[in-house]
Chain A
C-alpha cells in the first residue's frame, strides 16, 4: 500500500507489531543479554571522557561505549567509510537481526523500512574536520571524512551492509526523541501493511560540540547523573545505539520467533513553546496521545521509563506532566539515564529496548545514584536496586529540543 492508506485507528482492527530482536551498544553493556544484566544490576556507565580532548573543562565525565569492535559486526562495508554513529547504527542493526533469528536472505528482497533516529549524526567527524581546518585551512579537509558526514548514512548503511535491496532508509533527526520517532515510523509502516519488518531505533556518537553546549548551559553533572534526586546536577553525555526488529505479529508467529514485547502505540507531538525547555502541558498531551493510540487507560500502565535527564528543569516538568495524566499515584517511573547517561538520539530507542527486556524478564530497572527524592518530583523512581515485577504495559518517554515529544507504549504479548 503506498498512498493515503487509511489505517483502522481502533486497536481491534489493525495489524499488530511486536519486537522480535534487539541490538544494543551502550556504555553499560553490549547486546541484549549483557544490557539486561546491566539494567538489573544497576550498572553505571560513567568514566572520564576519552574520545575528545577535555582540557580546560572543570569536569569531564561521560558515558562512552567501550569494548566495541566494529569489525565483528560490519562485514560488507568498509569501516573507513562509516562515521562512528553509522558504525554504531550498522553494528546494532546486524545484532538485532541476528538476535531476532531472522535470516538476512529473507529480508533481501522484501520491502523493509530502516529508520534510525539521531541528534548529532556524524558531528564527531565534523568536530575533527574543524580541528583540521584550524590547523591547515579548509583545503585540508580529509575527503574520506567528508564523505562520512551525511546523517543519511546512519540508515542507508544499514541497508547496504545487510544487502537489503528494497529497503526504504530514513534518518530521523528529531534530536533526543529521535529513537521513539523512528520506532513510531516503523509501527506505522507495519500497521499500514507496507512492510512486515522494520529495523528502527537510534544512534549517536559522543562529540565535543554537544558536550560543550550542555556544559555551557550549565546542565552537565560534575560526577554522576542523579535523576529525580533533590541534589541532581544535570546530565552526562553518552553514546551508543539501540536498534529493534519490529515485526508484524503474524510474520513473527509463523516463524516461531521469540517475542520480547508488543508495540501498542505511540504519540507524537510538539510543545510549540520553547527551543530547549520542556512544557508540562505539551508532554502530558503527548502521553495522552500515546495511551489513546495504544488503546490503554492510565490505570493499566505498570511502569514509565522516563526521559529523566537529571536536569533540574526536565525532571520536575516531566514528573508534573506524568501526575497530570496519572493523578496522585502514578506508576513507578525510572530513568535509565542514571546508568547510561544521555545517549541523545539513541536514548529513547535504548529506553524502549530496556522496557522490552524488563517486560520479558520481569523486573524494573532502578534509577541509580539516588539518595533523596526531590519533593517536586513526587514519583517512585525505584532507587538504586531493581525490583521483580510482572509488567504488562510500559510507557517509554522521549523529549527533545524544539519541544518535540514522542512517547511509545509497549506491552507484554498476550
Chain B
C-alpha cells in the first residue's frame, strides 16, 4: 500500500471543522455574505465568502497580537487535524512533516509592511514583530512551533493548484523516507489587497471578483495506525504553454490515470477547479470528455468563490467528505483536477476508503 490519508480537517466559509464543511457542502448552503465595511474598507466587490466570525484572537486566544489571518487559518486547521494523534519524541529521527500550499503568503502582510515604511516619518518605523509575517513560510513555521512539528517544513507556492503541488511534494518526501507522517494542505486568506490584485489580474469579462478563504489539511501516513480514508494513487502536474490549458490538462490527467492504474471509466467522481473565465469552461469540457458528464455531477460544487491557494485543498476534502454522505463512494477512485492561470495544470487520483470516516478515533 502506498500513501494513505487518515484524517482531514478544514476551516472554511462554512465554519470551523470537518462537520461544518461537510454539512454546508452537502446541504447546498451559500456562504456568500456582504463584507463589513469597517473591517474591510473599500474592496472592489462588496461580497466575499469569509470564514464566519474568524479572527486570530477569537480562534486561538493569547499570543496572536501580530498573527495574520492566513497563519491563524492554518494554525486552527492543523491544530484540529492533529488533536488526538501521537506526537513523536523530540529526538526521534522520523518527525512529522508539514507541507503547506500558498499563493504568496499573506499579500496583505507583505504590502502593509511596505505601506508602513513608505508612509512613516522614518522609513524604518515598521513593527519588527510583523516582519516574519511578510515571508511566505510564516504560516508553516508558526504551525511547526505550535504543534512541535520537527520534520521537513515546506511551503509550496502554487496558486490554485497549490494543494496538489503540495501533495506531490509530500509524496516525494514520504517516498524517499524523509517523513513517515505528513500534514499537507493549503491556506488562503481574504484581504482587501488580495481582492484588488485579483480584480486587476482577471481576464476581461471574467465577471465580478468573489473571493473565498480558508484552509484544508490532510494527514498522510505510510504505515497508518487508523482506518484509511483514501489512498493517494497518483498525483502529477504539468506546465502549459500559451493561454489554452486544454491539451496539457488532458495529457496530465491521462498520465496520472496511467500512473494510478485506473481507467477513466472506473472513476466515480471528478472535482474540477472551476477557474474563472474561459479556463473554467475549458476544464469542464476536457473532463466531461474524458470521464463523461456523470462523474462531474457526483460532488456538490464548492460555493466559496475563488479560494486561491486553498482551492485544490478544498477540492480534495470535498472528495473525502463524500465518504460521510454517499455509501457507493466507498472503495471507488476519484479525481481532483486543477488549472492555475499562471501556467500549471495538475491532477490527483485517490481511491476512497472502505470505511465511513466517522470511525475517526475520539478526540483528546
Contacts from A to B (Cβ < 8 Å): 1-7, 9, 54-57, 114, 118-123, 126-127, 129-131, 133-134, 138, 141-143, 146-147, 149-153, 156-157, 159-160, 163-175, 181, 185, 188-189, 191-192, 194, 208-210, 212-217, 268-276, 282, 285, 289, 292, 400-404
Chain B contacts for A191, CB-based, 8 A: 176
Known: A4-B2, A172-B157. 10 other contacts (CB 8 A): A4-B232, A56-B122, A166-B238, A173-B137, A213-B134, A268-B151, A269-B150, A272-B144, A275-B141, A402-B140
**Pick the contact of A173 from B124, B157, B233 — CB < 8 Å?**
B157
**Pick the contact of B234 from A2, A119, A173, A208 — CB < 8 Å?**
A2
**Pick the contact of A212 from B113, B197, B235 — CB < 8 Å?**
B113
Chain A contacts for B141, CB-based, 8 A: 270, 275, 401-404
The closest CB in chain A to the CB of B193 belongs to: A138
**Pick the contact of A188 from B119, B135, B176, B222 — CB < 8 Å?**
B176
> For residues 114 through 163 of chain B, which have their beta carbon under 8 Å from a beta carbon of chain A?
114-115, 117-119, 122-124, 126, 128, 131-132, 134-138, 140-142, 144-145, 147-159
13 A–B contacts, CB within 8 A, in A order: A3-B233, A114-B239, A138-B44, A138-B193, A143-B200, A152-B159, A152-B344, A159-B343, A166-B251, A170-B158, A174-B137, A213-B126, A271-B150
Chain A contacts for B168, CB-based, 8 A: 168, 170
**Pick the contact of A270 from B98, B113, B343 — CB < 8 Å?**
B98
**Leading 9 A-B pairs by shortest Cβ distance:** A402-B141, A4-B2, A2-B259, A156-B343, A270-B153, A268-B152, A173-B136, A159-B239, A213-B131
Interface-central residue, A118, A169, A189, A210, by most chain B CB under 10 Å: A169
Contacts from B to A (Cβ < 8 Å): 1-3, 42, 44, 93, 95, 97-98, 102-105, 107, 110-111, 113-115, 117-119, 122-124, 126, 128, 131-132, 134-138, 140-142, 144-145, 147-159, 165, 168-169, 171-178, 192-193, 196-197, 199-201, 222, 232-239, 241, 248, 251, 256, 259-260, 340, 342-344
* Assembled-state Cα–Cα distance A55/B120 (Å): 12
Contact A7 B176 (CB under 8 A): yes
The closest CB in chain B to the CB of A131 belongs to: B118
The closest CB in chain B to the CB of A269 belongs to: B150
Instruction: Tell me the total A-B contact number using a CB cutoff of 8 A.
Output: 276
Contact A153 B145 (CB under 8 A): no
Interface-central residue, B93, B122, B176, B343, by most chain A CB under 10 Å: B176
Contact B128 A209 (CB under 8 A): no
Given contacts A7-B175, A129-B111, A172-B155, contact A164 B93 (CB under 8 A): no
Given contacts A175-B137, A192-B176, A401-B141, contact A213 B196 (CB under 8 A): no
Contact A169 B343 (CB under 8 A): yes
Give the distance to chain B from A380, nearest Cβ to Cβ, in Å.
30
Contact B111 A126 (CB under 8 A): yes
Contact A170 B156 (CB under 8 A): yes
Give the distance to chain A from B128, nearest Cβ to Cβ, in Å.
5
Contact A121 B104 (CB under 8 A): yes
Give the distance to chain B from A78, nearest Cβ to Cβ, in Å.
12
Contact A402 B137 (CB under 8 A): yes
Give the distance to chain A from B328, nearest Cβ to Cβ, in Å.
24
Contact B172 A401 (CB under 8 A): no
Given contacts A174-B154, A209-B114, A276-B132, contact A141 B197 (CB under 8 A): yes
Contact A3 B235 (CB under 8 A): yes
Chain A contacts for B234, CB-based, 8 A: 2-3
Interface-central residue, B104, B141, B239, B342, by most chain A CB under 10 Å: B239
Contact A119 B135 (CB under 8 A): yes
Chain A contacts for B124, CB-based, 8 A: 56-57, 212, 215-216
